[in-house]
Amino acid sequence: KAIAAAAIRGAAGLVARAGEELAGALDTYGPDQRVGFPNTGYYLPVIYGITGRRVGRLGDLEPVLETARGLVPAVPAERVWLPYLGGALDAGMAALFAAETIEALRYLTAPGSYTGKTAPSPGGLWLGAADDAVLRRRGLEFVDGSAPGFAVCVGAAPSDEAAVRLARECQEKNLYVFMCASSGGRSMAEQLAARGVQMGWETRLVPFGADVTATVFALGFAVRVALSFGGVAPGDYARLLSYTTNRVFAFVLALGEVDDEKCAHAAGALNFGFPVVADTDVPEILPSGICTYEHVVANVPYESLVSRACEVRGLKITVDRVPVPVAFGPAFEGETVRREDMHVEFGGQKTPGFELVRTAGPDTVEDGRITLSGPDVDAVEEGGALPLGIVVDIYGRKMEPDFEPVLERRLHHYLNYAQGVWHIGQRDVNWVRISKEAYGRGFRLRHLGVILYAKLKSEFASIVDRVQVRLSTEAGEVTAWRGEAREYYARRDARLAVLSDENVDTFYSCTLCQSFAPTHVCVVLPERVGLCGSVSWLDARAAHEIDPHGCNQPVPKKDVLDAAGGEWASCNEFIRTHSRGTIERVKFYTIMDSPLTSCGCFEALVCIVPECNGFLIVNREHAGMTPAGMTFSTLAGSIGGGVQTPGFMGVGKAYLGSRKFLKADGGLARIVWMPAAFKEQMRPVLEKRAAEDGLGADFVDRIADETVGVEVEEILAFLYEKEHPALSLEPLF
Ligand code: SF4
Ligand code: NI
Ligand code: NI
């Protein structure tokens, strides 16, 4: 039988199509025209990862297609007889090169095809390639295991309803769903849209593109995980493919009829170790009897597609079982409940609301007790509002009042995990909504307590022995409780305000990122948050209590070597050991001499601008050029990976407000440029810091931004005009 014929035919067709489109584009734009996916340092990632070629201009695509042509077996497909896997797999890889070429050309010739956003918007359904900011955030979830893998859904489900069921099943299993192509004139993303399902990176349902070639965005995502987190060198295709096979748990679901082009893409995915499971018949792609497991499984009943695919891929999934009548898990965290979909809301400045986690004695906490005083959500009319007080009392032999804010911040995440529950804010500015759908399924207020009880008990098992949740919707009671809660917050803040680098004797390390930056050690200080922005000193301390052998270890602060620079012998020793001997010394308060290393997940980066005698700071979201002559992506590529680079450093955003921010270099006064949007986002923090540092509240407006320019001369003129303080600080060199 004509084995692999379909894949080879499909690949040949795609390569020919890419060739024609490229010829057309070359005619119109010429070989020097820039091409690529937006806001990325990985060029066209599949081509870059596999061949090492950096495609930046149209002309660069010609040799790529030449390679692709060479990979497609030349014999008429029907007569190919392949005694080994190679031919079909090579054809699959050729198909991916062609697909990536076609998608890159689409960005050039049909710029409105993709929204470039992280969720569908009025601009369109299809998102296109993930940019590097999305990759960092989401890729990390694959590394730390909070997302076990992804399903690439090609085509459409038998019905809209079936599409929703498939999406929900994947979400409940914490899988990402990447959607592309269509079948029978319909795509899965359109099916979900028709049913009002929220899509986007936040909900893990990602509509990549309408064409089958958009499948390459999913594989490009896997390639970038390998390059950025796995430390694979571009062009080292053997390591790359073995990384994706062993570490990236993805599979392809072929929904509906499978044509030659889909077959070719499927063969491409097989190279990465991603099996293909189909609900219809698939032309045989590979010779049977050769593979160690069945890479391609056809005619699987629609209902068991996902479980079958997980099984074939060897993906074991443990699902959070929280006894609530709605779906529950991190995939639902990003879902919002719009006003028109809501049954009831609480707080949000409309009714009194607050939430509080308190440490309590053993006698006052009855484990598992959940009480509600006041009316439940049945009592309000659809679209109504109620007051809500949430008090969580915790008893634990190892619980400390200092851990309260750490646990309290988790409330926001846990409540959002429930499908149809939406939560924002914290403390006495919280805002909660419950959707009509969740209400219809029987979700009631006590389920909020059920969620908090289950999650706090399981995730903080070693510090939490008993949990009790009290809920109230009774206006008088909520207001009275809230008054007490406010006093409680004030006492807590007063206690934490005196927390400083000086008055503790222990810092904490974080080595979570060593799984992909093996020599990187973050040291988290009371006045310096981890560079990813999500680990504070208190978080690290609590995490250490929870798991004494985990990646947060105490770093003793002893034997000061340089008080101004922030260097201690004991810290150096710790870092030397935990960086496997690669880093000898670190000074915490400067970036000019032995700065902390950067792993790659920093929220922002600081970089020297020598001509201005200061630093620029740029956030990950900023896609434009900086006065350093590089974009964030390019700068990030040169400082990540756990190496020490004086003059360059990754930081958490909150660090900008710290009294210790680059203290030894002159502090905030050194900041000469930052993106305008970032400046606005940070304005309250910056103004406070500037006032305390005696720089004047208008200091923030003396920092140049891209509206002033991205050339050093332009910003220098601005700085002189504004009498920026950096100009009169002592020279950096
Ligand atoms: Fe931990 Fe640092 Fe990674 Fe954040 S960036 S998770 S603090 S190692
Ligand atoms: Ni990190
Ligand atoms: Ni990191």
What does the pLDDT read at residue 288? 47
DSSP sequence for 354-370: EEEEEE--TTT--TT-E
Question: 508 or 403: whose pLDDT is higher?
Answer: 508
SS3 content of the chain, % helix, strand, coil (to 5): 45, 15, 40
What does the pLDDT read at residue 6? 85
Q: Which among 18, 221, 38 is positioned nearest to 115, based on CA atoms?
A: 38
What does the pLDDT read at residue 637? 77
**259 and 336: one domain?**
no
- Give the three-class secondary structure for 337: coil
Q: Which of 453-457, 496-500, 708-712 has the lowest mean pLDDT?
A: 496-500
Residue 282 near residue 263 (C-beta atoms within 8 A)? yes
The ligand whose atoms approach the alpha carbon of 524 most closely is 1
Q: What is the domain-level CATH number for residue 350?
A: 3.30.1650.10
Phi, psi at 663, each rounded to 5°: -55, -45
**135 Cα–ligand 1 center, Å:** 16
Which residues have C-beta within 8 Å of that of residue 50, sequence separation ≥ 6?
93, 97, 223, 235, 237, 240
**Would you state the torsion angle of the CA atoms of residues 315, 319, 325, 326, taken in this order, to the nearest 10 degrees?**
-60
Residue nearest to atom 4 of ligand 1 (CA): 532
- Give the three-class secondary structure for 656: helix
- Angstrom CA distances, 365 to 341, 411, 420, 456, stand at 36, 19, 29, 14
What does the pLDDT read at residue 546? 81
Atom of ligand 1 nearest to the CA of 521: 8
User: What are 107-148's pLDDT values in tens digits?
Assistant: 999 999 999 889 999 889 999 999 888 888 888 788 777 889
In a domain, 319, yes or no: no
Q: What is the domain-level CATH number for residue 687?
A: 3.40.1470.10
Q: How confident is the model at residue 176 (pLDDT cuts 50, 70, 90)?
A: very high
What does the pLDDT read at residue 75? 60
**DSSP H or E run through 630:** none
Q: Which residues of 545-562 are buried (b: 16+ CB within 10 A; e: fewer)?
A: bbeeeebbbebebeeeeb
Q: How confident is the model at residue 81 (pLDDT cuts 50, 70, 90)?
A: very low
Atom of ligand 1 nearest to the CA of 551: 1
DSSP sequence for 592-610: SSSPPPB-S--SEEEEEEG
E-strand spans in 565-693? 567-568, 604-609, 614-619, 648-651, 671-673
What does the pLDDT read at residue 292? 42
In a domain, 611, yes or no: yes
What does the pLDDT read at residue 496? 79
547/569 Cα distance (integer angstroms)? 26
The ligand whose atoms approach the alpha carbon of 140 most closely is 3
Residue nearest to atom 6 of ligand 1 (CA): 512
The ligand whose atoms approach the alpha carbon of 552 most closely is 1
The ligand whose atoms approach the alpha carbon of 534 most closely is 1
Q: How confident is the model at residue 584 (pLDDT cuts 50, 70, 90)?
A: very high
**353 and 282: one domain?**
no
Residue list, ligand 1 pocket, CB within 6 Å: 510-513, 522, 524, 530-532, 534-535, 599, 601
**581 Cα–ligand 2 center, Å:** 18
Global model pTM greater than 0.90: no
**248 and 334: one domain?**
no
User: What are 233-252's pLDDT values in tens digits?
Assistant: 999 999 999 999 988 999 99
- Give the three-class secondary structure for 506: strand
49/233 Cα distance (integer angstroms)? 8
In the predicted model, is pLDDT for residue 289 greater than 60? no
Residue nearest to atom 1 of ligand 1 (CA): 510
Q: How confident is the model at residue 543 (pLDDT cuts 50, 70, 90)?
A: confident
Q: Which among 602, 575, 599 is positioned nearest to 586, based on CA atoms?
A: 575
In a domain, 324, yes or no: no
Residue nearest to atom 3 of ligand 1 (CA): 513
**134 Cα–ligand 3 center, Å:** 14
Atom of ligand 1 nearest to the CA of 552: 1
**612 Cα–ligand 3 center, Å:** 30
Q: Which of 201-215, 620-634, 637-651 has the lowest mean pLDDT?
A: 637-651
Domain boundary among 463, 494, 525: 494
Tokens of 468: 């009790």
Domain boundary among 270, 287, 313: 313
**631 and 682: one domain?**
yes
Atom of ligand 1 nearest to the CA of 520: 8
131/117 Cα distance (integer angstroms)? 9
Atom of ligand 1 nearest to the CA of 535: 7
- Angstrom CA distances, 493 to 130, 266, 377, 487, 648, stand at 39, 56, 33, 10, 33
Query: How many domains does one find in the chain?
Result: 3
511/523 Cα distance (integer angstroms)? 9
What does the pLDDT read at residue 76? 53
In a domain, 733, yes or no: no
**612 and 471: one domain?**
no
- DSSP designation for 299: S
In a domain, 345, yes or no: yes
DSSP sequence for 223-282: HHIIIIIS-PPTT-HHHHHHHHHHH--EEEEEES---HHHHHHHHHHHHTT--EEESS--
Looking at the chain, how many residues does it have?
733
What does the pLDDT read at residue 621? 83
Q: Are strands 648-651 and 604-609 parallel, antiparallel or unpaired?
A: antiparallel
Residue range(s) defining the domain that contains residue 649: 506-728
Q: Which among 547, 355, 368 is positioned nearest to 465, based on CA atoms?
A: 368
The ligand whose atoms approach the alpha carbon of 533 most closely is 1
- Angstrom CA distances, 421 to 345, 516, 674, stand at 10, 34, 37
What does the pLDDT read at residue 514? 76
**227 and 172: one domain?**
yes
For range 185-191, the mean pLDDT: 97
**511 Cα–ligand 3 center, Å:** 8
Residue 566 near residue 665 (C-beta atoms within 8 A)? no
In a domain, 372, yes or no: yes
Q: What is the domain-level CATH number for residue 43?
A: 3.40.50.2030
**490 and 558: one domain?**
no
**532 Cα–ligand 2 center, Å:** 6
The angle, 0 to 180 degrees and rounded to 10, between the axes of the packed helices 260-271 and 5-29 is 100
In a domain, 598, yes or no: yes
What does the pLDDT read at residue 85? 56
Q: Where are the alpha helices (DSSP H) in 551-640?
A: 569-578, 632-639
**Would you state the torsion angle of the CA atoms of residues 485, 486, 490, 495, taken in this order, to the nearest 10 degrees?**
10
**489 and 514: one domain?**
no
**9 and 149: one domain?**
yes
What does the pLDDT read at residue 306? 94
157/152 Cα distance (integer angstroms)? 13
What does the pLDDT read at residue 515? 63
**145 Cα–ligand 3 center, Å:** 14
**136 Cα–ligand 2 center, Å:** 10
Mutate to test the pocket of ligand 1, among 140, 588, 598, 601 (most ligand atoms within 8 A of CB): 601
Q: Which of 47-56, 173-182, 631-640 has the lowest mean pLDDT?
A: 631-640
Mutate to test the pocket of ligand 1, among 535, 536, 539, 620 (most ligand atoms within 8 A of CB): 535
Question: 572 or 8: whose pLDDT is higher?
Answer: 572
Domain boundary among 494, 521, 540: 494
For range 77-81, the mean pLDDT: 49
In a domain, 664, yes or no: yes
User: What ipTM does this complex have?
Assistant: 0.89
**365 and 415: one domain?**
yes
**524 Cα–ligand 2 center, Å:** 11
For range 16-33, the mean pLDDT: 98
**257 and 380: one domain?**
no
Residue nearest to atom 2 of ligand 1 (CA): 522
For range 491-496, the mean pLDDT: 84
Residue nearest to atom 5 of ligand 1 (CA): 532
**364 and 469: one domain?**
yes
What does the pLDDT read at residue 284? 62
User: What are 641-696's pLDDT values in tens digits?
Assistant: 778 889 999 999 999 999 999 999 999 999 999 999 999 999 999 999 999 999 98
**Percent of residues, the chain, with pLDDT higher than 90:** 74
**137 Cα–ligand 2 center, Å:** 11
Phi, psi at 41, each rounded to 5°: -100, 10
